[in-house]
Amino acid sequence: MTKLRIGHLSTMYHSSFLLMGTDWLEKAGLESEWKLFGGGPAIVSAFEKGEIDIGYIGLPPAMIGIDRGLQVRCIAGGHAEGTVMIAVPGFLTLDDCSNDMRLFLKQFRGLTIACPPAGSIHDVIIRNCLRESGYDNNIGVLNYEWADLIPELMADGEIKVAVGTPSLAVVSRRCCNAEIVIPPEKLWPGNPSYGIVAGCDMIENSHDVLLKFISLHEAACRFICGNKEEASRIVSETVGVIDVDFVREMYEVSPKYSAGIPQGYIASTMRFVRALHESGYISGELRQEDIFDLRFVKELQL
């Protein structure tokens, strides 16, 4: 039995929770050791320390690590458009503002937007949005190492607006009637909310193991899309503190799942190169081949 040390996040729409709740990996001869992290930057740090073999991670944090010399590549997709903006009742939505981002953001002047860790995909997206709209000096961003704290702070009135995952949106809606004010497809269309990243040594030396894992990851993605009710039940039982309806609602907020790496996913990722550079997160230009290794998805015809 081959052992895989897998870094993952608390975001329950990832295929990780479905694989944790089934025996698919074990039946395929893979022993899994799952390690939970608060955000993408922490997974990058774990790669740097040699603590994990593969990770579920938004690609901007991985790109930051690659820029500073980390030898990892994205070997499979997972999900697109996983960042939403939420606010407590009383604020206009982007649709209310006729999709005029500058007009929409004007209502948040003087406020601070809560966000997952610095360098996470959510952080990069919202800071780029504020910069492009000219509000980066009028609207603050406050990063939380554990974004799970944000709904409670919204319920206490300490936070009025936040960006984060579909999970965050559903929890906040239940905690304090928070509403989605920008849906995921409009905040950054096609953004690579997470992919499967592996160390370059692992890629070169464990081809068959990674191919097997990606096959199961794709099966989980398809299961989520085609069997939402059963997938919701499995994830609910795996996590233990959420109900089936919660998982189903989370899936419905952002339904784009696939282990493939289509051209649109790559193009959206490459847009982050400029955003990361302008934010000071990376020192220079990254090429597509610095970020992606497509041999596995090509072999599996994903």
DSSP string, 273-298: HHHHHHTTS-SS---HHHHB--HHHH
- What pLDDT does 39 receive? 87
- What pLDDT does 189 receive? 87
Residue 31 CA: distances (Å) to CA of 4, 17, 56, 166, 216: 6, 15, 17, 29, 13
**Are 2-81+191-299 and 86-187 the same fold in CATH?**
yes
- What pLDDT does 279 receive? 87
Q: 159-196 burial string, b = 16+ CB within 10 Å, else e?
A: bbbbbbbbbbbbbbbeebebbbbbbbeebbebbbbbbb
What pLDDT digit, counting tens, does each position of 150-181 carry?
999 999 999 999 999 999 999 999 999 999 99
Is pTM beyond 0.85? Reply is yes
**Can you read off the two tokens belonging to residue 53?**
């073999």
Question: What type of residue sits at position 23?
Answer: D
Rounded CA gap, 180 and 88, in Å? 9
For 159: left if phi > 0, alpha if psi spans -120 to 50, otherwise beta; the answer is beta
Reply yes or no on whether the pLDDT at 123 is more than 90: yes
Residues 147, 149, 152, 154, CA torsion sign: negative
What pLDDT digit, counting tens, does each position of 236-280 carry?
999 988 899 999 999 999 899 999 999 999 999 999 998 999 889
Kindly report the average pLDDT of the chain as a whole number.
94
Is residue 203 within 8 A of residue 88, CB to CB? The reply is no
- Which is nearest to 206 in space by CA: 75, 298, 301, 17? 75
Domain ranges of the chain: 2-81+191-299, 86-187
Helix (H, G, I), strand (E, B) or coil at 202: helix
Cβ neighbors of 151 (< 8 A, separation 6 or more) are: 168, 171, 172, 175, 176, 178
What pLDDT digit, counting tens, does each position of 13-59 carry?
899 999 999 999 999 999 999 999 988 999 999 999 999 999 999 99
Is residue 94 within 8 A of residue 163, CB to CB? The reply is no
Cβ neighbors of 54 (< 8 A, separation 6 or more) are: 4, 5, 6, 7, 196, 197, 198, 199, 202, 210, 213
Q: How confident is the model at residue 102 (pLDDT cuts 50, 70, 90)?
A: very high
- Return the CATH superfamily for domain 86-187: Periplasmic binding protein-like II (3.40.190.10)
For 181: left if phi > 0, alpha if psi spans -120 to 50, otherwise beta; the answer is alpha
**Can you read off the two tokens belonging to residue 134?**
């000219």
* Backbone dihedral angles phi then psi of residue 286, each to the nearest 5 degrees: -110, 140
Rounded CA gap, 217 and 4, in Å? 14
- What pLDDT does 75 receive? 98
CATH number of 2-81+191-299: 3.40.190.10
State the Rg of the chain over Cα: 18
Is residue 11 within 8 A of residue 167, CB to CB? The reply is yes
